[in-house]
Structure 1
Amino acid sequence: MFPGGQPNMQQLLKQAQKMQQDLAKAQEELAQTRVSGTAGGGLVEATVTGSGELVALTIAPAAVDPQDTETLADLVLAAVRDANAAAQKLQADRMGPLTQGLGGMGGGIPGLPF
């Protein structure tokens, strides 16, 4: 049984709908937000959305050596990884408070014992 009686199902549904709306809004904001990552002291810069989509890549002329394309490839990978790490942190910061307690059935919804 539930402490204090039965939960108000309408209230639970309202809370679930609000949580769904808040999550959708946060996801939309993440998709619109841009974060950057760099490598090689700024020779390569990658820009991704808050949801992790690569949207821009800038390579300084000084990073281009036709005899050493491996280093350039490494710099590009490092910049993209740096940008993705920034996007993941942004996601955690924005979505974390909205998704806490959703690990189990009913988690985070007042009135449910999970």
Structure 2
Amino acid sequence: MKIVALRALGFDVKKADVAELLVQHGEEHAERLDFQTFRKLVAEMLLSRSLVDEHRRAFQLFDVMDQGAIDFVTLKRVVRSLNLDIPDEELKDMIHEFGKDGLIREEQWLAIMNAD
């Protein structure tokens, strides 16, 4: 259950990672974690993430087809799933302004997200 909860929060962890975290916090033999300990673990993990890591994670959420790029169809699908009302022309403009060949790749996404 610990690994499922951490993955649901966006952490790409393996069982060994979770076991190491538990050892670091003196919980290696715990059948269940209390909420305070779990909260402390998650807070530490969140603080250890960099802004670039967060931007990559956001890109992966948009790249639902795992193609390494966001195209118009994918962007439209994500916008629709978020119940946003953005006209197709605006979405196409976003893709063409920030992407090449009708695609926004991860490096372009990171440049957009890190722009001042």
Say whether the fold is shared (TM-score over 0.5).
no
Q: TM-score, normalised by structure 1?
A: 0.26
- Write 1 or 2 for the structure with the bigger share of strand: 1
Q: Which structure is richer in relative contact order (CA contacts within 8 A, separation 6 or more)?
A: 1
- The structure where helix makes up a greater share of residues is 2
Provide the TM-score with structure 2 as the length reference: 0.26
Report the structure number with the largest CA radius of gyration.
1
